[in-house]
Chain A
Amino acid sequence: MKLQLKQKSILPGFGLALGFTILYLSLLVLIPLSATFLKASALSWQQFWHIAASRRAVASYQLSYGASAIAAAINLFFGLIVAWVLVRYDFPGKRLFDSLVDLPFALPTAVAGIALTTIYAPNGWIGHWLAPLGISSAYSRLGVVIALTFTGLPFVVRTVQPVLEDLDKEMEEAAASLGANRWQTITKVLLPSVMPAAVTGFSMAFARAVGEYGSVVFISGNMPLKTEITPLLIITKLEQYDYAGATAIAVVMLISSFVLLLAINLLQAWSGGRLKRAHGSELPEIAEAGAAS
């Protein structure tokens, strides 16, 4: 059966490698994930709805999704500027800043969480400037946005950067020689070409932020209905041994993240495979050299 589905090749090990891949994937990812749905199916529809649409749960969705959208928008705006500056300009320390962009991927979320809380607490480095203005940055919804901005920072930069590097300078020169001023060239020529990448980066940052836990719990204050994010609500329910409640909310999160994953895949297809190399790394040059061979 498998041999008919597979193109002929003289390379050995297909059956073994694919068999192991599918076995490992099933045991560790697919079966555990489906067990969650199985567990949730023990609930009746009314029970499920009662938990998933409770006031506290809805407040947590509003905060998680709202704060994630704001944080991703902040990252979209600044990410475009950072990517532009890193690709087009030279300034002292540029390479250091470039490497540091990936810090949120490398720094454990708990460390980021306590560091951000310390900075934005009323007596912190930034918090003590904001406190007299009546802005409480830590232990508030603003704190959640700050933490999620940190978590999602690399995505837009790293999706837009390779696209900017690839852009033909000739397009801009053509626009300029046809009489466009710089602002017109940027808004009419450059922005449309980086937009698919930027939107993909935005949605990746958003998807990551929605599920984020470690960097948020320290800074958010965790007040039910006010600063309680959805992942924290799941943990709270687990700690109260409310497994049904935790499962129901987990299912809501899982379905929403699958929808987001689908949307991101469609976006990536739309932006024309360009972004294969984004999201962190992917050693783009090798991939290209190989494709050319």
Chain B
Amino acid sequence: MASITFPTPGLPVSAHATHATTERRWVRWTLIAVAVTFLGVFLFLPLAVVFSSALEKGFATYLAALREPDAMAAVKLTLIAAGIAVPLNMFFGVAAAWAIGKFDFTGKSLLVTLIDLPFSVSPVVSGLIYVLIFGLQGLLGPWLAAHDIKIIFAVPGIVLATIFVTFPFVARELIPLVESQGTEEEEAALTLGASGFQTFWRVTLPNIKWGLLYGVILCNARAMGEFGAVSVVSGHIRGRTNTMPLHIEILYNEYQFAPAFAVASLLALLALATLLAKTVVEWKARQQSAEWEQIIGEAV
């Protein structure tokens, strides 16, 4: 943003005035260089090394590593876990946002803090808590064993751990958004005879769609990439209870670097797609908010 300066007659449009509110050229370029180097080393290099190591032994090896049955099984399991965890957390996020964002009640801020809780728990502990309940030594372990139900070291445990670590994503995007939009529009719809569900579907949902999509994108990225929590509950059975990140770990520890990075490159592509989607959604949301501002401006 250009600052407005009023040149005084007789004085040069002084270097002093600009230097007082911006930095000197060499300072600016030094800071840019520092920032770009830092981001380059910590963000660009890791991405670059994933793709270059994946393709190191040629494209045929790359494809073979992805077609390998254990890799395919890992991809499938990752899709199943995310396919269950993300919709459940999405449904939860919408319900929580409706209750917290549209109504006032005692204990609201405590509830919001509790919803955020899983973010402050170490992934390893997130997995452990389910082992302590459903594992053989766990609280329900003997009962589950007697009824031949397997949760830990099986798919249900992986799904549970994935739900836990991605628990707050959708809710925390939606709660402030729903809260800020107030209840006038819904009240108008209800007064005009819409049913509760119609009001939600036709009025609330269109207003929160970008926030919802955004939360789902972040939730999905974490669900597919979770490592620590899933590692604790999975049991690492090849082809059966290995998700993509766990499969990467096994390959890497067996010094099969090219195949490990081949599978990793899929997750890196997912991360890049997530960042791209995030940028687009933010841009769309900004557009929607510009419309909001216009409407508000006209109303005032």
Chain A interface residues (CB < 8 Å from chain B): 2, 5-7, 9-14, 16-18, 20-22, 24-25, 28-30, 32-33, 35-36, 38-39, 78, 81-82, 84-86, 88-89, 91, 93, 97, 99-116, 118-119, 124-126, 149-150, 153, 169, 172-173, 176-177, 180-182, 185, 207, 210-214, 218, 230-232, 234-235, 238, 241, 243, 246-247, 250, 253-254, 257-258, 260-261, 265, 276-277, 280-283, 285-293
Contact = CB atoms under 8 A, between A and B. Distances in A.
Please indicate which of the listed interface residues A99, A110, A235 has the most CB atoms of chain B within 10 Å of its own CB. A110
Given A32-B133, A265-B113, A231 B122 contact: yes
Contacts of A112: 46
B125 A118 contact: no
A250 B120 contact: no
B143 interface: no
A123 B103 CA distance: 59
A260 B120 contact: yes
B160 interface: yes
B164 A108 contact: no
Nearest to A97: B39
Contacts of A173: 3, 20-21
Contacts of A111: 50, 225, 245, 248, 264, 267-268, 271
Given A21-B92, A293-B182, A118 B164 contact: no
B8 interface: no
Contacts of A293: 181-182, 184, 292, 296, 299
A290 B111 CA distance: 22
A182 B228 CA distance: 47
Interface residues of B, number: 122
A13 B46 contact: no
A110 B264 contact: yes
Contact of B96 (A21, A102, A261, A281): A21
B3 A115 contact: no
Nearest to A184: B20
Contacts of A36: 125, 128-129, 132
Contact of B106 (A5, A91, A109): A5
Contacts of B125: 36, 211, 231, 234, 250, 253-254
Contacts of B296: 289, 292-293
B164 A7 contact: no
B275 A11 contact: no
B32 interface: yes
Contact of A9 (B19, B24, B46, B183): B183
Contacts of A254: 121, 125
Nearest to B53: A118
Interface in B39-93: 39, 41-47, 49-50, 53, 92
20 contacts: A5-B105, A9-B183, A12-B196, A21-B111, A25-B111, A30-B114, A36-B129, A85-B32, A105-B221, A111-B271, A114-B260, A176-B21, A250-B125, A253-B122, A253-B125, A281-B278, A282-B177, A286-B292, A292-B296, A293-B182
A22 B105 CA distance: 14
A21 B218 CA distance: 20
B228 to A, nearest CB: 4
A13 B98 contact: yes
A242 to B, nearest CB: 10
Contacts of A181: 19-20
Contact of A2 (B105, B245, B289): B105
A85 B29 CA distance: 9
A103 to B, nearest CB: 5
A29 B164 contact: yes
B164 A213 contact: no
B193 to A, nearest CB: 13
Nearest to A3: B105
A57 to B, nearest CB: 14
A6 B244 CA distance: 46
Contacts of B121: 33, 211, 254, 257
Nearest to A35: B133
Report the 9 A-B pairs with minimum CB-CB distance, sorted nearest first.
A108-B225, A211-B122, A290-B180, A176-B20, A214-B227, A213-B228, A12-B196, A285-B289, A17-B99
B149 interface: no
A11 B257 CA distance: 57
Interface string B212-255: 00100010010011111001100000000000111011001000
